Amino acid sequence: MSVIYERVALIGLGLIAGSMARAMRRGGLAKEIVGTSRSAETRETARDIGFCDRVVDTAEDAVIEADLVVLAVPVGAMGGVARRIGPNLMRSATVTDVGSVKRHVIEQVRPFIPQHVHFIPGHPLAGTEQSGPRSGFASLFENRWCLLIPDEGTDPDALRRLRSLWEAMGANVDEMEADHHDLVLAVTSHAPHLIAYTMVGVADDLKRVTDTEVVNYSAAGFRDFTRIAASDPTMWRDVFLANRGATLEVLGRFTEELFALQRAIRTGDGDRLFDYFKRTRAIRRGIIEAGQDTKAPDFGRVDAV
Ligand code: NAP
């Protein structure tokens, strides 16, 4: 593969930036990767593990002469970072982000991007419950979707170049409008995370379920909730605050369905439960057919797959 960007600046050195750095290195996609993070501790770790070619102390310095700038911080911090880097952005550079919410990020970031710079928001639909500078890995984006959010004014060449970077990192790329993205993600990711957080919280509150029982018998379904509910608290606080409207809309519908199923259980309406579960099982099959998961049984052990 060949070089796509001369100098890539990664602002934020966590799971997503770390995976991008590794994937770009593996493919020789950037001549130089410069990184920075808010805390001295993360910058130090990044230097120790050779996260990128150079780690600098400030975002303002990181973006100098970068032809691609990637904002990889929590969505609530994007606007503040954009404000700081705006004046130092190189003419014709592309700024993108990897935030899990799009409308809010666009509103926060766009005002600080100069006319002579391309701004193309993005969101790789790939992640784990791990975070921090040591958590990234090169194959994170393989066969995962990355959604780019161009608008009428987006430069086609800049878009093509960014798309080719994501494809070279293994992702399938699609384009989407910002509000639609936020609704889709509220259904597929944000509401499920809130439900997992709630379920784990409920189990913790139930004094009848002792700690040992929760831990020992967790493979009965609860374990998957605990994995999701172990996700980074800062990132997820920001996601819910930034995608308030769509998340509340989806949770409203969820609550209605939950009440309907609750009623079916109370009234002994087994047919309703059966039909509902039959429909949801088909969705799982669709995900497997689309190559977004395997059908191997997952007992939570690496060698189970
Ligand atoms: P992460 O591993 O937790 O790393 C976050 C990075 O942002 C760190 O470098 C951290 O700096 C920095 N940061 C935290 N708060 C900040 C603030 N207030 N101001 C400036 N910098 C700050 O996060 P991540 O999982 O890579 O997520 C980064 C972005 O990707 C988020 O917008 C998230 O929504 C999006 N995303 C995440 C996933 C996922 O599954 N994790 C998937 C797709 C997209 P210090 O360590 O120096 O404090």
For tokens 């100069």, what's the residue? 114
- Summarised one tens digit per residue, pLDDT across range 86-142 is 999 999 999 999 999 999 999 999 999 999 999 999 999 999 989 999 999 999 999
- What is the strand order of the sheet 145-148 is part of? 122-124, 145-148, 172-175
**Contacts with 187 (C-beta within 8 Å, 6 or more apart), sequence order:** 250
Q: How far is the CA of 248 from the centre of ligand 1 (A)?
A: 23
Residue minimizing CA distance to atom 19 of ligand 1: 77
pLDDT of residue 133: 97
- CB distance 122 to ligand 1 below 6 Å: no
| Ligand 1 atom with minimal separation from the 39 CA | 47
pLDDT of residue 298: 66
Compute the C-alpha angle 287/131/137, nearest 5°.
65
State the greatest distance between any 2 C-alpha atoms of the chain, in Å, as a whole number.
Answer: 67
Q: How far is the CA of 258 from the centre of ligand 1 (A)?
A: 33
- Summarised one tens digit per residue, pLDDT across range 206-232 is 766 667 787 788 877 888 899 999 999
Q: How far is the CA of 277 from the centre of ligand 1 (A)?
A: 36
In the structure encoding, which two tokens stand for residue 187, read together?
A: 């259904």
Residue minimizing CA distance to atom 35 of ligand 1: 99
C-alpha dist (Å) from residue 122 to 72, 105, 254, 302: 10, 10, 27, 31
How much helix, strand and coil, in percent to the nearest 5, is found in the chain? 55, 10, 35
pTM of the model: 0.94
Q: How far is the CA of 283 from the centre of ligand 1 (A)?
A: 30
- Pick the closest to residue 246 from 61, 103, 94 (CA basis): 103
Count CB neighbours of 236 within 10 A. 18
Percent of the chain scored above 70 by pLDDT?
A: 95
Q: Are 110 and 119 in contact (CB under 8 A)?
A: yes
DSSP 153: T
